[in-house]
A and B are shown apart, each in its own frame.
Chain A
Amino acid sequence: MQKMLPPYQVKAALKLTDFLDHHPWLVQKVLRRIALAPGIRRFLWVAIKGFMGATAFDCHVVDAANGRIDFGGVKETFYPTCITNIMRDTLEREVGKEKMDEIIRKISREAVYLEIKFGVEGHWFPKQFLSFIGDSSAMDVIRSDPDLLRLIAKGLNLTNRFIHDEGGYGCIESELGKEPIRLTITNSLTARKVGRSDRPTCAASCGMMEGAMGFMLGGTFHAKEVECAAMGAPCCVFELSRETAT
């Protein structure tokens, strides 16, 4: 596999982020302002601004004259959430329920794959933290080193907060340490829009997880929603594993 971060860099990055976690006042009142200062904000990586307390909304650049929004190299578009139900209704009418889920999963998978790709190629993270991207053996190496696992988990949590939670999709948490990877979404966008259902509804979230992990670790992943808030569970729970060739 490609070269990972040297252990001293991992430890230094962890120490720094742990320090920031323990000093929220310093982060919010001092570092966030520095990160967003006009002369500085355009030169900092999105993730660095995030660790300094900036929100995703702080990091978006809106070009009102040209009708464009940029988030660290990713072009973005805002939708009202009613599009979720409108798209489901359209697809259900045209192709039926089963195929609807399949298409929504595929659309979300492709969209998030590209979004992460553009972010990684753009200005989300310093390149040296991304040496594992696309490497299918990276997960084993990451899991074998507790410090590296914790650092990657912190980076992933920040990315999740920026593109998922502050994207309006609910609040996501992930456990990378075990196989299959377990993710929970509280207040999932699809579940809250669809309402009560007798089957799991979050095909879009499954696709998003598959797309994100597929780009980061290479290969094909499959997400299964094992509990869904639309079916009465307190939150939506997913299991994500690498698809083995049959």
Chain B
Amino acid sequence: MGAGISDEKVQEYLELIEFTARHPRLSKLVLNLTCNIPAFKDALPVSTKIYMGGRILESYRVDTKKGEISFAGVDRQIVGSEFLEIVYRNFMEAMGKEEAQKAMYDMHYKAMEEQLAELDYQSVLPAFCAPLFEAPVDLGLLDSNPALARLYREMECMLLRLLFNESGWGSPAFDSMPIPRRVTVRNSVESEWIRPSDEPICYAMAGLLAAFVSRISGEKYVVCETQCAATGADECLFSVVREK
């Protein structure tokens, strides 16, 4: 992995990211207009358009005749956020609390696992760095190339942003990248709908995060919520452990 990625391209893309972070208003007003020129619209990857001030929703393929929506090759559906509370409550009634919690975790693990397997990384990330995410991370390569490691972190943040923040799940942050030991989530959608609670409740979020980290690392990880906003904490905290 990583062989053949030119340092020049890595540097140029990092400069674009830094420039747009320094000049958000310029990005929104000028670069975003450039993104909407038809020739660029189709050619640029989603991440570049987002850095240039674009909206993720403009990158969806919406077929109203068929009633289908998809993002980067993954068919998607939209639910009201209350859906999670309703699923959890009905699962508890049908199979009991512990089984319901396990089912919420496993279902969302599988959903994220399939989503990441289907995702067209070439349309989300710049073509030269998409291959980095099509295989497990090569920590040795990132250790030996700090610029590439920085770019990898940025791209991983972008994936998190697209799959969590811009999909209405809340805002996760990893304590270290590429593989975290702890994840903090602000506004976890589960904790906002299944509250108040005496115990951590974000099983779906834990499953999603576990599948994400497992995909990045190429090894199976387990995620467990240790602090939850539904119990009154400011934000949700998850520990990430490699399965033995």
Contacts and interface: CB of A to CB of B under 8 A. Distances in A.
B176 interface: no
B90 A103 contact: yes
B118 to A, nearest CB: 7
Nearest to A164: B67
Given A62-B57, A111-B79, A167-B78, A80 B67 contact: no
B57 A90 contact: no
Taking each of A77, A83, A90, A187, which has the highest tally of chain B beta carbons within 10 Å of its own beta carbon?
A: A77
B94 interface: yes
A107 interface: yes
A27 B114 CA distance: 39
Interface in A148-175: 161, 163-172
Interface residues of B, number: 54
A168 B77 contact: yes
A171 B66 contact: yes
Interface in A85-139: 86-87, 90-91, 94-95, 99, 103, 106-107, 110-112, 114-115, 118
A78 B64 contact: no
B168 A111 contact: no
A67 B80 contact: no
B78 A95 contact: no
A68 interface: yes
Interface in A15-74: 55, 57-58, 60, 62, 64-69, 74
A65 B165 contact: yes
A64 B169 CA distance: 10
A62 B55 contact: yes
Contact of A74 (B80, B107, B161): B80
A241 interface: no
A60 B150 CA distance: 32
Contacts of B79: 76-77, 79, 111, 167
B80 A78 contact: no
A67 B86 contact: no
22 contacts: A57-B58, A65-B171, A66-B165, A66-B170, A67-B187, A69-B167, A75-B192, A78-B77, A78-B168, A79-B111, A82-B111, A83-B77, A86-B114, A87-B87, A94-B94, A103-B90, A166-B62, A166-B67, A166-B78, A167-B78, A167-B79, A186-B67
A84 B64 contact: no
Nearest to B172: A67
Interface in B153-172: 161, 164-172
A81 interface: yes
B82 interface: yes
Contacts of B161: 64
A223 interface: no
B90 A107 contact: yes
Contacts of A87: 87, 107
Interface in B54-113: 55-58, 60, 62, 64-69, 71, 74-84, 86-87, 90-91, 94-95, 99, 103, 106-107, 110-112
A189 interface: yes
A62 B166 CA distance: 6
Given A55-B64, A168-B68, A111 B82 contact: yes
A67 B168 contact: yes
Contact of B82 (A64, A91, A114, A163): A114
